[in-house]
Amino acid sequence: MSLQEAITEFRGQFRGTVIEPQDAAYDEARKVYNGMIDRRPRLIAMCTDVADVIAAVRMAKANGLRVSIRGGGHNAAGLGVCDDGLVIDLAPIKYVRVDPASRTVLVGGGCKWADVDHATHAFGLAVPSGIISSTGVAGLTLGGGMGHLTRKYGLTIDNLLSVDMVLADGSFVVASAEENADLFWAVRGGGGNFGVVTSFLFEAHPVSTVCAGPMLWNLDDTADVMKWYREFITKAPEEMNGFFAMMTVPPGPPFPTELHLRKMCAIVWCYQGSMEQANTILEPIRSYRPPAFEFFVPMPYPMLQGMFDGIYPTGLQWYWKADFFKELSDAAIEKHIEHGSLLPTWQSAMHLYPVNGKVNRVYEDDTAFSHRDSVWSEVIVGVDPDPANGQKITEWAKRYYDALHPFGTGGAYLNFMMEEGEDRIRATYRGNYARLAAVKEKYHPENFFRVNQNIRPSA
């Protein structure tokens, strides 16, 4: 049977939409969030349910097609889409069921975090995720997941109870602490290596209104604020989260016009408690180095989650570099000031996310995510709408990364990496790599799922 005949037969078994290069929807459907990525798959299968995923996996296997799995399409390296192969797109599998009695949330594999936040907020609950609500639940979770609630409740995977998955032979499995425990260990940090996850069951927490928002300082204050921050954030109550940023002030409200497009440093806070308590905790920095501007107010948690969505619409050019750090030395701070003050475009930024608190109380071999002893996860993003600025943002990000990399652990958060080769993936998983490769060997000896930060089967 020719590939075209196989596709015709596949269309008959498939409930969702099948998109080929000649279809009008093709160019829109192959786009991912990063506008720098331009790949041309042979086929895009918009799956409506688990049966569609099984049919798509079997079709790809029978016809020797490479497969990429797309959740929210946000991956920096564009790993949700591939050239010449089959894209298993889960976007139509979109449902969220909150069980307030057990405080659990069942999430379809195509959801974005905005879908989850909307559903859980009605019950005064939240699942720890990231800082941008348009990010896909699937990719963020499978890589680890860090954001505003990390210090108190851990990574997103620390709140994952079970997944439904389709394996390379088209079989369906549940993975949890009780069933297929080796797979459950591997998917908590192992990315898209182990199968297509069609649903996630999470534990949720009582988070409703938070006191949150950015404080901004002039660049001249960066060294003092960073040195204060490095002490503060490792000892602060875990209800207080704050990530550090080298950034440019967005040209719009709530920022005063005189600050628009000024390069500054910032901390974006999220406190789970009262304004009175938050103000007591933050009094030392306000009196030591008063912010040039702050917008720190009580707000519904979904509002915080969506706060930066408008700055980063889909289709911008993105170049990412990342590392984990155990300490933020004076020498590293000097490098941050040097490169952070050269932000090439206003949407470019450097963020330092704290990965301490609850994250550090999980052992490094309890899940595939090994960097439990790190304190910061750094990401440097060169961002701009204009493809003509691609080289400029890429070179800046690489120079910044080169300056800071010697201070890091050698590994980086999987979800902040471009395609950087096997050594970097090994440096990221450290002692967990061999166990991941063994799980891959057991379930996928042919490395069927390989459009990802790839873990090769051990044999």
Return all residues near 39 (Cβ < 8 A) that are at least 6 apart.
Answer: 30, 78, 81, 82, 83
Q: Which amino acid is at 156?
A: T
Shortest spacing between CB 147 and ligand FAD, in angstroms: 5
> How far, in Å, CA of 430 to CA of 457, rounded?
16
Q: Is 282 in the site for ligand FAD (CB under 6 A)?
A: no
Q: Is 189 in the site for ligand FAD (CB under 6 A)?
A: no
Shortest spacing between CB 415 and ligand FAD, in angstroms: 4
Q: Which of residues 294-333 bind ligand FAD (CB under 6 A)?
A: 312
Return all residues near 300 (Cβ < 8 A) that are at least 6 apart.
Answer: 121, 208, 209, 210
Among the candidate windows 128-136, 248-256, 324-332, 337-345, which touches ligand FAD by CB under 6 A? 128-136
> How far, in Å, CA of 33 to CA of 28, rounded?
11
Q: Is 69 in the site for ligand FAD (CB under 6 A)?
A: yes
Q: Is 415 in the site for ligand FAD (CB under 6 A)?
A: yes
Q: Is 367 in the site for ligand FAD (CB under 6 A)?
A: no
Among the candidate windows 136-144, 167-175, 265-273, 421-429, which touches ligand FAD by CB under 6 A? 136-144
Shortest spacing between CB 458 and ligand FAD, in angstroms: 20
Q: Which amino acid is at 244?
A: F
Q: Is 76 in the site for ligand FAD (CB under 6 A)?
A: yes
Q: Is 241 in the site for ligand FAD (CB under 6 A)?
A: no
Name the residue nearer to ligand FAD (CB basis): 30 or 292. Answer: 30
Q: Is 80 in the site for ligand FAD (CB under 6 A)?
A: yes
Among the candidate windows 39-47, 192-200, 278-286, 403-411, which touches ligand FAD by CB under 6 A? 192-200
Shortest spacing between CB 444 and ligand FAD, in angstroms: 12
Q: Is 145 in the site for ligand FAD (CB under 6 A)?
A: yes
Q: Is 197 in the site for ligand FAD (CB under 6 A)?
A: yes
Q: Is 50 in the site for ligand FAD (CB under 6 A)?
A: no
Among the candidate windows 57-65, 71-79, 288-296, 328-336, which touches ligand FAD by CB under 6 A? 71-79
Q: Which residues bind ligand FAD (CB under 6 A)?
A: 32-33, 68-76, 79-80, 90, 109, 130-132, 135-136, 138-140, 142-143, 145-147, 191-192, 196-197, 312, 415, 451-452
